Structure 1
Amino acid sequence: MPVNPKLKDDLTDRLFQAILSLQTEEECYQFFEDVCTISELKAMAQRLEVARMLKAGHTYDEIVDRTGASTATVSRVKRCLYYGADGYKQVLLRLEEENKRMESL
């Protein structure tokens, strides 16, 4: 899927290059703590968990209860998960593959 031209610019390219340069979970914590507010970071983590739970077939009520996300957030993530740029799908698939790889060790 092509990159959304409304998002693509030199500054955003540089941000993503910076993110791709991070090598450990600790480096990610350090970088994102400097770049985001705690609320922004928690919101991103929450949305990823909502996407994971939607993909696993959980109901809205289960997701709201477990994550604290609003139904509006669950709806937005669901729309992105099924009709978006496939970013959630790609990341969730890679996380699943990594979990399976780690379990088999």
Structure 2
Amino acid sequence: MNIEKMYERSDVQQLVRAMLLLDDEDDVRAFLTDLCTPREICDFGQRLQVARFLDEGEPYVEVQARTGASSTTVSRVSKALNGEHGGYRRVLIKLEDQERGRT
């Protein structure tokens, strides 16, 4: 499915709006637990960590070793990290700002 078309679906629009309504970490944990399997949640966390290590300049092989991610996952995350949508990049910047006490 085309990414732009995906976001035109009413159920996906509702999901996006629902995520914006989450107030805190407890809300996010509860929603993720109801929405995803434990494996999916761990996979999301792993992908974000892969993105962080790649953004810090770690070589693919080192990222694989440190995260346990497959070469396919590392490659896909790298493509997304440097791709047109910028989701990983936005989140990494916000996380960095938060860690530095700027939020």
1:76 paired with 2:72, answer no
Residue 21 (structure 1) aligns with: 21
Residue 7 (structure 1) aligns with: 6
Unaligned runs of 5+ in 2: none
SS at match of 2:17: helix
Q: Which structure is higher in RCO with an 8 Å CA cutoff and minimum separation 6?
A: 1
Aligned-residue offset at 1:84: 3.6
Where in structure 1 do 4 or more consecutive aligned residues deviate above 4 Å?
none
> Partner amino acid for 1:11?
D
Q: Kindly report the root-mean-square deviation, in angstroms, between the aligned alpha carbons of the 2 structures.
A: 1.2
Unaligned runs of 5+ in 1: none
Aligned-residue offset at 1:60: 1.2
Aligned length: 99
Q: Distance in 2 between matches of 1:72 and 1:12?
A: 26
SS at match of 1:83: coil
Please, what TM-score do these two structures have when normalized by structure 2? 0.90
Q: Distance in 2 between matches of 1:66 and 1:7?
A: 33
> Partner amino acid for 1:51?
A
Please, what TM-score do these two structures have when normalized by structure 1? 0.88
